[in-house]
Amino acid sequence: MKISVREAAYYIGGTIFGDENLSFNNVAKIEEAENGDLTFLYLSSYEKYFSTTKASVIIVKPDFKKTRDDITYIQVENPNVAFQKIIIKYFNNLPQLSTSPHNLVVSPTAVIGKNVKFGNNVVIKDRTVVEDNSFIFDNTVILEDCFIGEGSIIYPNVSIREKCSIGKNVIIHSGVVIGSDGFGFTPDEKGVYFKVPQIGNVIIEDNVEIGANTAIDRAAMGSTVIKRGSKIDNLVQIGHNVIVGENTVISGQTGISGSTKIGNNSILAGQVGLAGHLEIGDKVIIGAQSGVSKSITKPGMYFGYPAKEMAIALRTEAHIRNLPKYAERIKDLENKISELEKKINKE
């Protein structure tokens, strides 16, 4: 596939410096790009590769010094976003969706329960068929009374348990379990735990993507809800009755305990842990490996265990790193005080 520089620049709203008639046929990282590839430069730490890259076309910021005349440049305000747009338009490896009429084909390896309802253009078979509007791949299990919205892609080995609802244009990667029992156990008078029935469901709204081997527990009562536009990484655990707001991003190995509510447009970085029954507000960013034990309602950046506002957390961390020095200073001060006391007592 050959893509003209002129067409690509027009699509991303860029200005061309160099050969407008040039074409490219692939995209690559700047340090790995070959002749015929398109790449981009966004972070200054990657500028060291500019002198040696073999890329034919490069997307750059307006202030970038275009010192090589063997490269064609496309200048935009945000090269990272522009590069992703190019990938989505020309190199997307997702099944190509169409507007074909309703069509349901069941793979021999898929298990579909009773009363499962599908939106228009749902296909349950292997990935070699790409002409229909939704895909549910081999070895998928969908139990009774579920709904799968149109335009959704469900990859192999996904389990969706009873009464769960999947919205439109949802992508669910391999190994995901939706609607597993919430972690509900209560001890009796002898301290023996008995299981509390988890009789709710999971609702995944439109345009959500869920990474591989993520588990989203069904609610004890009511619904666990992932709202529209949210993106969930691999290996994330979401407990029962959790509500994740719209356009929120959750990175890998994050764990969210039951009944916690997360607002819109928030970010949880990798390995964040949240206690149960908390409220996390809109536009809250929680740094990697942070532990959240109390609700956070004020927008901003938070970090640490327990999580604090970023500025406070960084100052605290600096003091912790200086503890050996502080200990030496305290010891010196104690010695000086001791000497003064001895001197005073002699007088």
Of 62, 74, 72, the C-alpha closest to 19 is 72
Helix (H) or strand (E) holding 11: helix 5-12
Least confident of 112-116, 133-137, 198-202, 277-281: 133-137
What is the distance in angstroms between the CA of the first residue and the CA of the last residue of the chain? Answer: 95
Q: Does 25 have pLDDT greater than 90?
A: yes
Of 50, 88, 64, the C-alpha closest to 15 is 64
**Residue-level pLDDT at 132:** 41
Please compute the mean of the pLDDT values over residues 202-230 and round it to a whole number.
96
**Residue-level pLDDT at 91:** 85
Residue with more model confidence, 138 or 276: 276
Which ranges of 74-159 would DSSP assign to H, the alpha helix? 79-90
Give yes or no: 102 in active site.
no
Instruction: Give 97's pLDDT tier (boundaries 50, 70, 90).
Output: very low
Please compute the mean of the pLDDT values over residues 145-156 and round it to a whole number.
88
Q: Is the pTM value of this prediction over 0.85?
A: no
Least confident of 111-115, 126-130, 147-151, 187-191: 126-130
**Residue-level pLDDT at 36:** 95
For residue 342, give the 3-state DSSP assignment: helix
Measure the CA–CA gap between 97 and 152, rounded to whole angstroms: 10
Q: Does 342 have pLDDT greater than 90?
A: no
Please list, in sequence order, all residues whose beta carbon lies within 8 angstroms of the beta carbon of residue 169, skipping any fewer than 6 positions away. 149, 150, 151, 152, 206, 207
Q: 34: which 2 tokens? A: 């070959």
Q: Does 98 have pLDDT greater than 50?
A: no
The catalytic position among 102, 173, 240, 319 is 240
Q: What is the mean pLDDT of the chain?
A: 89
Strand 23-24 and strand 3-4: the pairing is antiparallel
Measure the CA–CA gap between 15 and 7, rounded to whole angstroms: 11
